[in-house]
Amino acid sequence: MARGRFITLEGPEGAGKSTHLALLAERLRAEGIAVRTTREPGGTKLGEAVRGLLQYDAAGEAPVPRAELLLFLASRAQLVQELILPALRRGEWVLCDRFCDSTFAYQGYGRGMDLAALHALNAFATDRLEPDLTLLLDIPQAESRARVAGRDGPADRFERERDDFHRRLAEGFRAMARECGRIRRIDSSGTPEQTAEAVWAAVSPFLQKEREDA
């Protein structure tokens, strides 16, 4: 059985990752593709517990930056071994809301940690697994902040970060898109329908190749 495809969705807060992951999964399933969806941090029992620690200070205190990084990597290691790799081996396509590029953007460009060290630590956590395709949903910072402000419920720890932090991570995402061939930047500031079509245009060549190789 052929290995499945691994596609990640990245971007700043409020870019529409969860929405477009669900729409993409629905469209792929309509094409007969077996799809598994997941998210970071989370996706496993351990990962969901870590998510509470990272985003909502479930331990009663915020993690320091190095602890924050290691918690993300622990969640990712569990997700890769428990869910992503088994699904790919079964021939399923895995769609993940955030993965390694969020670490490089948030902890690297945002927190100022050494990118080479982050790449090495991530390679250890993931056993060198990389996405086949990463969709960077990009929106202007003002729109990102407005979308987050319009959500129901309290903002998480990252959504509450200062504007300069969000500026740095957005610039980091764009820099990675320029430098890395697997990352496709998609303007997510238009209508949901326009963004969904741009997402499909980026993914459909992989579907075509899947059918040619079958």
Q: Is residue 16 part of a domain?
A: yes
16 vs 211, higher pLDDT: 16
Half-sphere exposure of 199 (CA within 13 A, CB side): 33
Using one digit for the tens of pLDDT, what is the confidence trace for 62-112? 999 999 999 999 999 999 999 999 999 999 999 999 999 999 999 999 999
SS3 assignment, position 121: helix
Residue 5's region, left for phi above 0, alpha for psi from -120 to 50, else beta, is beta
Q: Is residue 130 part of a domain?
A: yes
Domain with 204, as residue range(s), is: 6-213
Q: Is residue 1 part of a domain?
A: no
pLDDT of residue 116: 98
**Helix boundaries (H) for the chain:** 17-30, 45-56, 65-79, 85-89, 100-103, 115-126, 141-149, 163-179, 192-213
Give the predicted TM-score (pTM) of the model. 0.94
Q: Is residue 100 part of a domain?
A: yes
Asked if residue 144 is part of any domain, the answer here is: yes
What CATH code is carried by the domain that includes residue 15? 3.40.50.300
Q: 1 falls in which pLDDT band (50, 70, 90)?
A: low
In a domain, 206, yes or no: yes
Compute the mean pLDDT over every residue in the chain, rounded to the nearest whole number: 94
Instruction: Please report whether residue 136 resides in a domain.
Output: yes
First vs last Cα of the chain: how many Å apart? 10
**Domains contained in the chain, number:** 1
